[in-house]
Amino acid sequence: MKKFIYGLACLVLVTSKLSAAELVDITSKVPNIQTEIRYFTTNNFVGTRIDGYLAPKCLLSEAAAEAVAKAQYALNEFGLGLKVFDCYRPQMAVDHFVRWAKVLDDTKQKAYYYPDVPKSELFKRGYIAARSGHSRGSTLDVTLIDSSSLQELDMGSDWDYFSKVSWPSYKGVNSQQRANRMLLAKVMNAAGFTGLAEEWWHFTLIDEPYSEIYFSMPIE
């Protein structure tokens, strides 16, 4: 099923159809990458498995997956690697976030994920939105790990931590944490991704193939 959504500046297509030619499992391109798809679990800011996550898979456009492979190869040369928290995100998952954000008394994960932000301001501050670049299939949330121990490097905040502390430019973290953030950004940029000013873990392929398509098919 396909439907068109008219925005203020452009026409976007939301489609429920996916195929192997459009999105691929990252492990088919990067066999040694680590994944922890938190929206498939209860360990996320909502506190429950998110709609559309029927399997703990990282799906990406083939172009994005191949770019991730370049980043992984560069890191492996130095005994490091990538760990992925989220990739393709179905539109139904975004809709789940929106519904949750409107239930102001559900704050069971606030202390861990958004301690300094009133839930009533999550929309205003841009932490929750009606559409996500993740739904276009070329955006991922990722961190660095030690290839031997598989332990995450210290980035100064956890993934999906709603705070200025998570901004890549935040100066309140220590020098090692800043260096880790800079290394991740440098490697991902060199592989063809661009980052986000508010999230050190968020990267989108610059030449994403589906820049105006928001997929809605669940992850299976």
Is residue 18 within 8 A of residue 218, CB to CB? The reply is no
Q: In the annotation, is 199 catalytic?
A: yes
Structure tokens at 78: 């130095």
Alpha-carbon gap, residue 25 to 117, rounded angstroms = 34
What whole-number distance in Å separates Cα of residue 48 and Cα of residue 62?
A: 29
Query: What is the spatial distance between Cα 45 and Cα 145, in angstroms, rounded to a whole number?
Result: 22
Does 146 appear as a known binding residue?
no
Query: Do the annotations mark residue 134 as ligand-binding?
Result: yes
User: Strand 34-35 and strand 80-86: pairing?
Assistant: parallel
Q: Which of 203, 185, 82 is nearest to 139 (CA)?
A: 203
List the one residue out of 173, 131, 129, 133 whose CA is nearest residue 154: 173
77, 121, 152, 199: the catalytic one is 199
What are the binding residues? Answer: 134, 141, 202
Instruction: Please give the positions annotated as active site.
Output: 199
What are the binding residues for Zn(2+)? Answer: 134, 141, 202
